[in-house]
Amino acid sequence: MRLPAPAAQMLTLSTTFGETTTVTLQDGTEVWLNANSSIRYPSAFNGKDVRTVTLQGEAYFKVKRAPQGLHPRFVVHTNMTDVEVTGTAFNVYHRHDSAAIALLEGSVTASGRKMKPGDLLQQSALGISLTQAPAGGFTAWMEKRVVIRDGTLATVALRMEDLYGKHVRFKRPGMEALPFTGSAPMGQPEVLLKAVCTVHGLKMREEKDFIILE
- What is d(CA 51, CA 72) in angstroms, rounded to the nearest whole number? 8
φ and ψ at residue 200, rounded to 5 degrees:
-110, 10
* Burial state string for 49-69 with b = 16 or more CB within 10 A and e = fewer than 16: eebbbbbbbbbbbbbbebeee
Position 139 scores a pLDDT of 84
Tens place of pLDDT per residue across the chain (214 aa)? 444 555 679 999 999 999 999 999 999 999 999 999 999 999 999 888 999 999 999 999 999 888 778 888 899 999 888 999 877 999 999 998 899 999 999 999 998 889 999 999 999 888 999 998 876 667 889 989 999 988 999 999 999 999 999 999 999 999 999 999 999 999 999 999 999 999 999 999 988 779 999 9
Distance, in Å, from the CA atom of 57 to the CA atom of 194, rounded to the nearest integer, reads: 26
Q: Which pLDDT score is estimated for 33?
A: 97
144-213 matches 10-132 in CATH topology = no
Report pLDDT for 5: 52
Residue 184 has a pLDDT of 93
The class level of CATH for 144-213 reads alpha beta
pLDDT value, residue 87: 78
pTM equals: 0.86
Domain 10-132, CATH class in plain words: mainly beta
The whole-angstrom separation of Cα 166 and Cα 157 is 8
Neighbours of 173 (CB within 10 A): 7
For the chain, which residues make up each domain, given as ranges? 10-132, 144-213
